[in-house]
Amino acid sequence: MSVSSRRVPIESQSVDAPLSSTAVFLVLSVTDVPGAVENVRATLAAISDILKNVAFRDLDAALSCTVGIGARTWVEVTRSPLPRELHSFRPVTGAHHNAPSTPGDILLHIRADRRDLCFEFERQVMDLFSGSVRVVDETVGFRYFDVRDLLGFVDGTANPVGQELREVTLVGEEDPTFAGGSYIVVQKYTHPLAEWRTLTTEQQEAIMGRTKADNIELEDADSGQKSHKTLATITVDGVEHGILRDNMPFGSPATHEFGTYFIGYSRHLWVIEHMLQRMFIGDPPGLHDRLLDFSTAVTGSTFFAPSAAFLDAMSDDPEPAPPVKP
Ligand code: HEM
């Protein structure tokens, strides 16, 4: 996969694409129309060509797309066994808050600095998918001020960079067939913003574990209630296990919808699952992440993003995919 760069290369499956000003999170289910699986396979294999076609029209806008494939249709679509850790999103049930599992066979994470490029790319891909998929959820995210979420906090600071980024996101020799791929978990959260605003800034900062204005990390609590930052930090045998997040705000003031679309990329699925356990069940159990008192998870799906080479190789079919009628 590519190393972050504004202008080159145009390559699909760029997990480490630069932060963009806009993004589309498109979750699809494969239909049971005859020929659907073959058509999905052919469309996924064509993604890198479509990406080149659209991205080339403005290289500065850095259009990228990462495709994730879910466990339910993985074997049929890719004709390969499952990546070692891949399974459907496992719901998490805490005493106060739940992380539901919702359908999703294909994820397109489309990023660019121009909304029209995302739109055009999505249009061309959806034309090819034709009746072979059903849209489960489409969320258009936008970048808000200094990379802040709608709760007002800078979101993404602790993300790994450089060599560490590749180490925490890309599968390595532990699963050689899928080396260079990445596990993805997405969850759509909505916020009761009016309630959040009744808290003082100090109360909000204690929940997040960082100051609001200047984004300084606060000390971890020795005992009792832990902040979001602390609960999302996973340390096993003295080794910290990170992930890459590219969360985006979404919503509409007119309809009072305010949300955060969470997307996490990881070399190991268990790391994200462990974070969710600590947030929803709590550490110690009972002391859940107070961020959840102001954030409701409405979706939850897990995917594996294979390397660009794996995806392109899916085009090596002896026969072209049959046309699909919706
Ligand atoms: C840190 C917001 C959900 C994992 C943070 C920070 C903010 C934030 C503001 C501190 C700054 C930073 O380092 O990015 C949110 C919001 C969420 C959300 C608004 C949804 C409503 C999640 C979920 C996970 C997660 C579901 C994992 C499953 C992390 C991690 C960190 C973090 C790993 C960095 C911790 C560290 O300092 O090492 N989040 N988050 N977040 N969050 Fe979240």
Residues in the chain: 326
Q: Is 273 in the pocket of ligand 1 (CB under 6 A)?
A: no
Q: In sequence order, what DSSP letters do the residues of 241-266 get, joined into one string?
A: E--EE--EEEEEGGGTEEEEEEEEEE
> Are the C-beta atoms of residues 269 and 183 closer than 8 Å to each other?
yes
> Are the C-beta atoms of residues 142 and 21 closer than 8 Å to each other?
yes
Q: For residue 276, which atom of ligand 1 is closest to its CA?
A: 28
Catalytically annotated residue among 155, 246, 289, 312: 155
List the structure tokens of 129.
């998918």
Q: Is 267 in the pocket of ligand 1 (CB under 6 A)?
A: no
Task: List Cβ neighbours of 45 (8 Å cut-off, separation of 6 or more).
Answer: 311, 312, 313, 314, 315
Tell me the C-alpha distance between 113 and 52, whole Å. 16
ipTM score of complex: 0.99
Give the torsion through C-alpha atoms of 319, 322, 323, 326, to 10 deg: -150
List the structure tokens of 40.
């999905």
CA distances from 281 to 99, 102, 227, 271 (A): 10, 19, 14, 15
Tell me the C-alpha distance between 269 and 92, whole Å. 15
Q: For residue 154, which atom of ligand 1 is closest to its CA?
A: 9
**Please, what is the end-to-end C-alpha distance for the chain in angstroms?**
34
Tell me the C-alpha distance between 207 and 285, whole Å. 17
Q: Is 108 in the pocket of ligand 1 (CB under 6 A)?
A: no
- The tens place of each residue's pLDDT in the chain, 326 residues long, gives 433 444 445 677 888 888 899 999 999 999 999 999 999 999 999 999 999 999 999 999 999 999 999 999 999 999 999 999 999 999 999 999 999 999 999 999 999 999 999 999 999 999 999 999 999 999 999 999 999 999 999 999 999 999 999 999 999 999 999 999 999 999 999 999 999 999 999 999 999 999 999 999 999 987 899 999 999 999 999 999 999 999 999 999 999 999 999 999 999 999 999 999 999 999 999 999 999 999 999 999 999 999 999 998 898 765 555 556 55
Q: Is 295 in the pocket of ligand 1 (CB under 6 A)?
A: yes
